[in-house]
Chains A and B, each alone.
Chain A
Amino acid sequence: MEHNHITLPEGSIEKTTTTLNIGPTHPATHGVFQNIMEVDGERVVSSDQTVGYIHRAFEKLAERRPLYQITTITDRLNYCSSPINNMGWHITCEKFLQIETPKRVDYLRVIIMELARISDHLICNSIVGVDTGAYTGFLYVMQYRELIYEIYEEICGSRLTTNMGRIGGFERNFTNTAFTKLEKFLNEYPKVLKEFESLFTRNRIFMERTQGTGGISAERAMNYGFTGPNLRAAGVDYDVRVHQPYSSYQDFNFTVPVGTTGDNYDRFLVRNAEMWESISIIRQAYEKVQAFKGAEAEVYHADVPEYYLPKKEDVYTKMEALIWHFKIIMGEIDLPKGQIYCPVEGGNGELGFYLISDGGRTPFRLHFRRPCFIYYQAYPELIKGGMLSDAVVTMSSLNLIAGELDA
């Protein structure tokens, strides 16, 4: 053998930093993320990210699917709050096709979207707790995410990838059980959230771990394309629900919480404050839903036979319903020509759908503006010069969802 000795790369003896590989699957990354970091002792000097491990070519797949089949793709973007993605997609289609939805549908959607926002923030904040060494909060709030999932189940039959709703409304009306569970949630959850907050917010260990780490200024955050709670934590009060109200958000009273320093602690506080706002929005929406009387109280979808599947019993007994059913299932509905960009406030930022149609039956092109794909590129800047253990907390407090990032 000629080379029986180890050949070191040139300069590696003089090198004073260590190269550390974290991920793609690591308990501290909460998703499929790889980071190759240069660390000097425990200080992060630089880091290089690799993404794309669970890329599934959603944008290409969408080019062959009629609109209603794309809903299942949106489930798999931010899977911590799938209903927001579902509703966002339906709202995009409705805007594009100029469909007016009844107010009751809008309010039911608001209930669902805010429940999804709570479950999203709940996971993110409790995982920040786990990464700072406090497991209790995570286990404690998990049963309320379970309750939210039970409400989803009651509405659409599934829990994680919900495929909830249709273009024009919901596939069926909310059952009484769904409303009972919602009431249970509204009664019990505030106490739990209060206790969750008292576990963390003024906890000295938690504060010292999160304050001043992973911070970003408002200017840098905007330049990096931050949106959602991460941007608001830096002090910019941009919220799609307020700036471009959709699904009748203009009918609700709520405040947009903002932070100042954009660090991990502020992100945590902003998310907690948003959960309180969400509870208040759900209460208002539930009141509005209950105020509908008579025939109005039974409305759960708009009258759009071209896109909304008719009832099964009508398909078997009525000619017109049968025709529409056939046309929808066989994908024989031509879309109008045009393009639209429609954003909604997702769990972690502005989730946008850019739909281009050339008059065919499927989108000519569909692009998802995925918030965490865009702000994850700021991660090396956020953790530079900090401790390695803070980098882990920063990652979880950014609310990165691999499914959304990799699309």
Chain B
Amino acid sequence: MSLTNEMVQEKLIAKFSDQVLQFATSYGMLSFESPKEINLKVLQFLYDEPSLAFTFLTDICAVNYPNQKGAELVVVYHLHNLKENIRLRYSVSTSLENTDVYTATKLFESANWMERETYDFFGINFVGHPNLKRILNVDEMDYFPLRKEFPLEDQTRIDKDDEMFGRG
């Protein structure tokens, strides 16, 4: 019997009851959320439970929603059960003031750089990460550039000396 989104949802609710919420299916992929405090418990359950076996971490990234007060930053995990070939999206949200989220590096080696990248661009502080420092940007950078508070440069600005770039 193959695993379906509904079965995954049932098992998660049976284990975590009202701690897991916002179940939705879009374009065939199940997504849900939980409080950030239990993210490791959820990931561990999804990994260990033999009937679920989401043992492949496809991706970790973050999203910044500036209008969601108290939940501005959302960390998104994409997990994959390779045997049953079913994917799911799991997210936890955190505020700008306290960006602590537990690291998944103990479970997945691949999470190491993905979390460093997420820290680099969004400033999520992955608690317990073995080497949480910037990866793609320079170490001296003192802001988190993919947050929405840093808009791209206005393309119509004229106060800049562009001579060096052939637009002077």
Contact = CB atoms under 8 A, between A and B. Distances in A.
Interface residues of A, number: 42
B59 interface: yes
Interface string B64-98: 10000000000010100010010101000000000
Contacts of B143: none
Most buried by B among A55, A340, A377: A377
27 contacts: A51-B136, A52-B134, A52-B135, A55-B136, A57-B145, A59-B146, A60-B145, A60-B146, A64-B152, A222-B82, A225-B56, A225-B108, A225-B109, A225-B114, A243-B85, A244-B85, A341-B27, A343-B58, A350-B58, A352-B78, A354-B76, A365-B63, A373-B113, A374-B113, A374-B114, A378-B109, A406-B136
Interface in B104-155: 108-110, 112-114, 117, 121, 134-138, 145-146, 152
Interface of B: 26-27, 29, 31, 55-59, 61, 63-64, 76, 78, 82, 85, 87, 89, 108-110, 112-114, 117, 121, 134-138, 145-146, 152
Nearest to A340: B27
B89 A341 contact: yes
Given A365-B63, A374-B110, A60 B26 contact: no
A341 B114 contact: no
B145 A377 contact: no
A222 B55 CA distance: 8
Given A59-B121, A244-B85, A369 B63 contact: no
Nearest to B145: A60
Contacts of A340: 26-27, 29
Helix, strand, loop or mixed for chain A's interface?
mixed
B27 A96 contact: yes
A118 interface: no
